[in-house]
Structure 1
Amino acid sequence: MKALVHKYKKGMDGLHYEETKNQELKKEEVRIKLHFAGLNHRDLFTIAQHDENAEPLIIGSDGVGEISEILTENKNFKVGDKVIINPGLNWIKVSDAAPENLEILGNPVSGTFAEEIILPIENIVMKPEYLSMEEASVLSLSALTAYRALFTKGNVTKDDTILIPGIGGGVATYLLQFAKAIGASVYVTSRSKDKLEQAKKLGANKGIQSEGDWNELLKEEKVDVVIETVGAATFHQSLNQLRKGGTMVLIGSSTGDKIEFNLREFFYGQYTLKGTTMGSSEEYQAMLDFIGKHNIRPVVDKIFKIEDFKKAFDRLEKGKQFGKIGFAIS
């Protein structure tokens, strides 16, 4: 089979779309012929961090396809079924944090940017019928992360006002859609006027320019919950918009991992800071039920042929997308 493999060099220079060995199917596993796969910021992080001396790695966490072979007595699936993939292995029940043995497709185990993949049967779900294959391919990782951040960690309700810095990325777009689905008020930020306009079309109540003074632009309105996906570049402005006793949920650090902040101001404000990433199989199913109930469709920015992976990675790295980027696998 052909796959997008990272090896020998960090960054884009280490990516190669080439022939690789087919894997052997084991009991309680299924072989899936992949049709589309979703690109995530996690893939950018992986190719930047993957050790040059490590074993070659098939990257990619999201995908959709059809079962081509099944080695199990499970009666819920059969050859030919169209399925989507839960990329988190070994995290079944909702818990405060991920189990120590959590593994995610695309790093450290082989991922979805390939013509086929072998998975435990517990990590596949029937594709929602109302979603196209392209839509389903860009759903899992970002939507699961957004669902857990909002509802498991953020405890967001219809009465809350939410701030989402850096609208346009996959997780941020799902956060906006999910929060609006329950009737919450949502404020978003971006450097791009076009992205702010697109966010308003998805229901955002306010959109503000990232470079401005957020206090002034929001007229010193405070929010109940901030879902921080950007990291160091926006952390302090985000915290400053939080009402006393409010909650910040941190799920990203694409602009840097380290910050300094005033501890006294933090505990006097009685803020709550929570971290999260990914989610359990139970939350994955709850997310699927949620989007089905509210008829939520992923925002697909652009689908590239997997052979054009350099163009797709470049678009993501430069932040040109609004929503999700995907690959068509021939």
Structure 2
Amino acid sequence: MRAVYAEAINPEDPLSGLAVGERPEPEAQPGWAVVRVLASALNHHDIWSLRGVGLSEAQLPMILGCDAVAETDDGSRVLVHAVIPEAKDPRGFSLLSEKHQGTLADYVTVPAENLLPLPGQMSTQDAVALPTAWLTAYRMLTTKGRIQDADAVLVQGAGGGVATAAVVLAHAMGKRVYATSRDAAKREKIAALGAIAVEPGARLPERVDVVIETVGPATFDHSLKCAAPGARIVVSGSTSGRSAEILLARVFMMELQILGSSMGTADELRALIDLVATQGVRPVIDEVFAFADARQAFEKLATGDVFGKLVLAHS
């Protein structure tokens, strides 16, 4: 079968280890199912895998990808939940493409309970954006950020997959959304999605109850300054570096909560599917590539010049 996979690890030049070619079709173990992939999507997780983060040489070749809409034997469309329980993993789980082959292939195998039915009116292209970036954003806003108790939300670094999803979802939930970006063109795009777009570090007209952080050191001080008393600062990434200085006095005097978040549960994914379907939310798709053009899609992802999701059409 066709597949996009890591055949080598290179922290400095990750795309040098990327291969597009033939791999054996998967065989299902008891309790798992093999499904035909209709569409998949890229995530920065794929680039990190090629750098060797969470993936070792001993595990190669490893098919990349966490996101997929697939078709079962009876012709039903399903969304693949990429989180696999792992008792020996410190997190208690792994993602597809870490210990088990990923979704950037003609077929993928996952536990049967990881296949979630899709509403008939939801397009394959929209649905494939949901399982990683959009699920991460949904969990950050709801389970961790308790957005139902919030009036205003700040999303740092809008333009990336998680941050853009957070803007769209928070706006759909009726909240005032502020979003930062260094790129003026991205600020225009994010404003069109319902956010009040501001430059990084800009003073907001109010303090916010929830901050969505995927940037890290470059924005974290701003996140602290923008947080209202008792606010939740939810962190799922740190694209600008691994460590940030924190003014502890502000944390305890304002009684702030700094919360880590990673991916989401199958129940949260079901709730996200329902929200997207009932509210008419449209995930932001930057570009759709033919499967044969997967390398070009990875090259675009690596540049960082992306607004929304990059999708691979498998037909």
Query: So what's the TM-score if we normalise by structure 1?
Result: 0.88
Q: For the structure 1 residues 202 and 158, does the alpha-carbon distance in structure 2 shift closer, same or farther, using more than 3 Å as the test?
A: farther
Q: Percent identity, aligned pairs only?
A: 35
Is contact 2:152-2:208 (8 Å) kept?
yes
- 1:290 aligns with 275
Distance in 1 (alpha carbons) for counterparts of 2:168 and 2:210? 15
Q: Deviations over 1:179-213 (max 9, x none)?
A: 11121100001112221111121111x11122xx4
Shift of 1:149: 0.5
- 1:306 aligns with 291
- 1:214 aligns with 202
The amino acid that maps onto 1:209 is: E
Shift of 1:158: 7.0
The amino acid that maps onto 2:17 is: G
Distance in 1 (alpha carbons) for counterparts of 2:216 and 2:174? 26
Q: Which deviates the most, 279-288 or 311-320? A: 311-320
Q: Deviations over 1:240-285 (max 9, x none)?
A: 1112322101111121111222222321222111010111112111
Q: Deviations over 1:18-57 (max 9, x none)?
A: 1111222233322211121011111111111233344311
**Structure 2: unaligned runs, 5 residues or longer:** none
| CA RMSD after TM alignment | 1.9
Distance in 2 (alpha carbons) for counterparts of 1:62 and 1:296? 18
Q: Deviations over 1:279-312 (max 9, x none)?
A: 1112111111222221212111101123322321
Is contact 2:208-2:226 (8 Å) kept?
yes
- 2:140 aligns with 149
Moved over 4 A (4+): none
Distance in 1 (alpha carbons) for counterparts of 2:188 and 2:6? 36
- 1:90 aligns with 85
Alignment length (residue pairs): 308
- 2:151 aligns with 160
Tell whether 2:72 aligns with 1:67. Answer: yes
Which residue, 112, 126, 131 being the options, matches 1:140? 131
Is contact 2:150-2:210 (8 Å) kept?
no
Is contact 1:90-1:99 (8 Å) kept?
no
- 2:258 aligns with 273
Which residue, 35, 40, 47 being the options, matches 2:38? 35
Is contact 1:143-1:171 (8 Å) kept?
yes
The amino acid that maps onto 2:220 is: F
Q: Deviations over 1:150-183 (max 9, x none)?
A: 0101001275110001111121122111111121
- 1:198 aligns with 189
Is contact 1:159-1:183 (8 Å) kept?
no
Which residue, 99, 121, 127 being the options, matches 1:130? 121
Tell whether 2:178 aligns with 1:187. Answer: yes
Distance in 1 (alpha carbons) for counterparts of 2:307 and 2:149? 25
- 2:208 aligns with 223
- 1:102 aligns with 93
Q: Which deviates the most, 113-122 or 134-143? A: 134-143
The amino acid that maps onto 1:208 is: V
Is contact 2:41-2:66 (8 Å) kept?
yes
Distance in 1 (alpha carbons) for counterparts of 2:174 and 2:116? 28
Distance in 1 (alpha carbons) for counterparts of 2:81 and 2:159? 23
SS of equivalent residue, structure 2 residue 198:
strand
Shift of 1:58: 0.6
